[in-house]
Amino acid sequence: MANNPPLPPPPWQRVPERAKSRRRDPLTRETIVTTAIRILDAEGLDRFSMRRVAEELDTGAASLYWHVGSKDGLLDLIMDEVVGEQEVPEPDPEGWQEQIKEVARTMRRTILRHRDIVRISIGRIPMGPNAMVLSERVLAILRAGGVPDELAVQSYLLMMSMVNGFTMDEGGYVEEPPIGAPSLEEAGAMVRSYLAALPAKQFPNLREVADHFAITDQDARFEMLLDLFVDGLAARV
Amino acid sequence: MANNPPLPPPPWQRVPERAKSRRRDPLTRETIVTTAIRILDAEGLDRFSMRRVAEELDTGAASLYWHVGSKDGLLDLIMDEVVGEQEVPEPDPEGWQEQIKEVARTMRRTILRHRDIVRISIGRIPMGPNAMVLSERVLAILRAGGVPDELAVQSYLLMMSMVNGFTMDEGGYVEEPPIGAPSLEEAGAMVRSYLAALPAKQFPNLREVADHFAITDQDARFEMLLDLFVDGLAARV
DNA sequence: GTGTGGTTTCGAACACTGTTCTAGCAGATC
DNA sequence: GATCTGCTAGAACAGTGTTCGAAACCACAC
């Protein structure tokens, strides 16, 4: 029961690498988030784990929890960091329609740049500081363009949903191309032949449009979405 | 090394419950999928696991693998089963615009009826038999309405994305209401007061539209989306 | 110097996950 | 009978998020 001072470790028992001195670069929320994003981009959500992040920072998983609370908390921080990458121009009342389109394009690019970020964003309404700035600036453009307040809010939220939804289906199939990577062209050809082989009696329409299914230009479809959205919005102002 | 026949189990060692006789109701893919959906709806994706499904079927997790291959395979089957719930009417060339809207409304209802199904659908382009039937029938409506083939395909894919994206953000916050469940009204009030408390200099727009943010009518916004989409589409035919 | 208290680290452990291995059973076929 | 095939399921493996508690470090009081 007497608690003597702990003995020095015997010389044959190597002290664990980091135990002797404090970290050279102290752990911070920022460094954790940055490394987490790097891992996410490089290896994808499936390989992303607290232990993996800790390993990259040369520490144990438990240490991260003091800074970010939980994995979910870390994902929140990641989301806001990524949202913060997007830049929104100063409002130009004349060119608001093109400005809104450009904002949407930037969103799409940002999402596509970060692998699996769309999967993280799923049940996570961004409310961090960067998300607030984004909302503020987009609303500024819409209101400067003469869009009434309620419609501005509605269409802003709608735009977010649409871009997210579009990009979600778009990047979906990337998910770890399992070695025998079917290229985009191969995939298209596979879809076409699959559709063309369907029973004619039951699937007349699908068979006839099979070609158009195969060569779906994502960029073109996104522009179509933007046109539909902004034109409709402008007509309602 | 001699492999003798296995000894009969000693009488004091109770044989495990199910070992003595074959299951009364044999496991099938269908029953597995049905129970899986039931668990998913009742308890959500986070509590959903192969062991949980097996437990519900009074068996071990390993048994499921013979029927569905993997968890991912099971999720694929679940997706197609849910897609199959949707009914699409026979094409009416005059009323194609309203028909398309109705299809979208049905989609949204189906997604909302099944908790977390939108999270499952994320990287999963539906290609099961039911998904094929759905595509066929929607394309039938569009083409009957005079939409040219390429535009029909584009807009069909676009519609799927939009409905998915919209419903994704919509049902997002449900995610296990953690005991102190903030009701929809409370949440609205919280958002409003949060926005109203932002620094006026940095967030003038957000502050001024805070009220509209709080009372966002999802149904109204969805109808707005449908109007934008279908009107724009009709204008392009 | 010597405490003392707060911040920060992290090894070990817990309860869980998807999945595979392997042995075994029931019924049809030879 | 013996053999084979379709099917069941216990045990184990490697991995997960998270918590606990002990230790190490720092800054300040005495």
pLDDT digits (tens, 9 = 90+) for A83-120: 999 999 999 999 999 999 999 999 999 999 999 999 99
B212 contact A CB<8A: yes
Tokens representing A210 are: 């099979």
Question: Hey, which residues 77-96 in chain B have their CB within 8 Å of chain A?
Answer: none
**A118-143 pLDDT tens trace:** 999 988 888 899 999 999 999 999 99
CA separation, residue A11 to residues A8, A14, B189, B229 (Å): 9, 7, 64, 74
The backbone torsions φ and ψ at residue A179, rounded to the nearest 5 degrees and listed phi first, read: 65, -70
Chain B residues inside the 8 Å CB shell of A173: 123, 125
Kindly report, residue by residue over B132-186, the tens digit of the pLDDT.
999 999 999 999 999 999 999 999 999 999 999 999 877 654 445 555 556 667 7
User: Is 70 exceeded by the pLDDT of residue A23?
Assistant: no
pLDDT in tens, A158-205: 999 999 999 987 765 444 555 555 666 777 788 888 888 889 999 999
Mean pLDDT confidence for A61-81: 96
Taking the CA of residue A26 and the nearest CA in chain B, the distance in Å comes to 32
Mean pLDDT of chain A: 86
Q: Which residue has the tokens 């060692």?
A: B13
Q: For the residues B201-230, what does the mean pLDDT come to?
A: 90
Q: What is the mean pLDDT of residues B57-63?
A: 94
Of B119, B165, B173, the CB nearest to A166: B165
CB B67 within 7 Å, strand D: yes
Q: What percentage of chain B has pLDDT greater than the value 70?
A: 84
What confidence score (pLDDT) does residue B180 get? 55
pLDDT at A184: 66
Residue B83 is predicted with a pLDDT of 97
Lowest average pLDDT, out of A67-71, A75-79, A160-164, B213-217, goes to B213-217
At B181 the pLDDT is: 57
With contact defined as beta carbons under 8 Å apart, do B82 and B97 qualify?
no
Q: Do B166 and A166 touch (CB under 8 A)?
A: no
| Chain B residue with Cα closest to A217 | B154
Rounded to the nearest angstrom, the gap between the alpha carbon of residue B111 and the centroid of all alpha carbons in its chain is 5
Structure confidence by residue, pLDDT tens digits, B85-138: 999 999 999 999 999 999 999 999 999 999 999 999 988 888 899 999 999 999
Top pLDDT among B216 and A114 is at A114
pLDDT over threshold 70, residue A49: yes
Distance of CA A57 to the CA centre of its chain: 23
SS3 label, residue B23 = coil
